Amino acid sequence: MRSAHPLERAVGMEYYVSDADGVGGHLRASPEDFRVTELEAFETQPVDADTGAYPHLVFRAELHNWETNDFASALSDRLGISRERVSWAGTKDKRAVTTQLFSVKGLDADDLPALDGAAIDVVGRAGRPILFGDLAGNAFDIVVRDAESPENAASVLTDLQTLSGTAEPTDSETLPTGAVTVGVPNYFGQQRFGSRRPVTHEVGLAIVRESWEDAVLAYVGNPHEREPEATQAARAYVDETRDWAGALDRLPRALGYERSMCHALVENGAETPADFREAVETLPTNLQTLFVNAAQSYVFNRVLSARLERGLPFDRPVEGDVVCFTDSDAPADLALPDPDRTQRVTETRLRTVERHCERGRAFVTAPLVGTDTELGDGEPGDIERTVLDDVGIEPGDFDLPGAFDSTGTRRAVLVRTDLGVVRDGADLTFSFSLPKGSYATVLLREFRKGDPAE
């Protein structure tokens, strides 16, 4: 275990599990170097099914260098329909080749337009739209180019095999010829918080504390050294003056959300907490929810880091843990945790639950804190309470208005996958699958050990 990059520590990822030095190198040198294919979990009817009962056309799109939201907007513009009629299961990054399902309400297959960088295949029809989360996971083929020390990959792989707790590690000097089972802490990745300016959790924590002015300042002010100088200067002006009209003169036009908040504050006078809350609520509902989700994710990451510090296992429970069981509807080759099926681990149940975890039927969890959260007992519960005290929030604080409210859930602390690594000179290709909600970059950071913003 070793300390992580400062940008990662800022979002609660305090450590790398692997002690070995990283390979370095670059991700996404081209879109083809980052391939993502959804593991589908959505049932359809034939394309000629009755459109009255099955109004949603479902198609599979291979997208080259398209961010999912941008593709949905371009598709709806070409069709001349509302963007709200286009739905998908998981949002994918732009600089990649991604294959995923979409649905469009009230569309015939012959009406699908051709879009540059998109290969579209009609799958069928459905009675409801595809919703966020309607997938089992994602399969990845990712190339790290120009690694400075590609020989280090074997040692990192060995360390990650140890964390998985499934088998004896392979030779740390050479890469295995096939896939091996590895495990990493199921951290929320850097993109959850902002890859270059990780502040969404800071905004979310201020919201949970109902410090609405602090939430505005965390988003509109709060300059980051990786931003352009003009942007840093405008944010610094906000921090120093609280002059919202002056901020509008200085904030770049590209910062549309920040500007909308300033407009609201100019109009309402910015005198009361309600005025600042109104400014936050000018933002899209999904972004308001994202702020609170990021706060939950930050606390979760901190809990995992503290578990690593204390040397508690990730592949099996200790007394006081809360485990969840496997989703019975998941594909046979992908273990998917079901956070709605949980059990508290007592002394008398410990060995039985350990066996379930060994067989991949159960998973140790940590909380994504919300109003319904029941913290663990014993040492796991002590970790959770210590982190919450340090952050300055408690479960009841998530009883919030509108899009900010959250009941919480639980999330597995470990993600396992069968990982294949192939070396070609200074390039390394990683092939693996992850359940939905887990981040490929969290696995790759163990191998690269570099700046997550690169």
- How does 123-157 read in b/e, with b if 16+ C-beta sit within 10 Å? bbbbeebbeeebbbbbbbbbbbeebeebebbbbbb
The string of DSSP codes covering 36-103 is: EEEEE----B-TTS-TTT--EEEEEEEEES--HHHHHHHHHHHHTS-GGGEEES----SSSEEEEEEE
Residue 185 structure tokens:
């802490």
Q: Which residue has the tokens 């051709």?
A: 114
Q: Confirm whether 21 is a catalytic residue.
A: no
Q: Which residue has the tokens 């696995």?
A: 443
Which listed residue (33, 93, 315, 327) is catalytic? 93
Q: Judge whether 112 and 118 are in contact, CB under 8 Å.
A: no
d(CA 148, CA 145): 9
Q: Judge whether 430 and 128 are in contact, CB under 8 Å.
A: no
Query: Beta-strand (E) ranges in 331-426?
Result: 337-344, 362-368, 409-412, 414-424
Using DSSP's 3-state secondary structure scheme, residue 107 falls into: coil
d(CA 439, CA 8): 14
Q: Provide the H-helix boundaries in 209-311.
A: 212-220, 229-241, 244-250, 256-268, 273-280, 285-310
d(CA 413, CA 303): 9
d(CA 15, CA 304): 10
Q: Which helix (H) or strand (E) holds 119?
A: strand 118-126
Vertex 317 angle, CA 436 and 7, to 5°: 55
Residue 180 structure tokens:
């091996």
Residue type at 39 in one-letter notation: L
Q: Judge whether 117 and 89 are in contact, CB under 8 Å.
A: no
d(CA 183, CA 445): 13
Query: For residue 183, what are the β-bridge partners?
Result: 416
Q: Judge whether 270 and 212 are in contact, CB under 8 Å.
A: no
Active-site residues: which are they?
Answer: 93
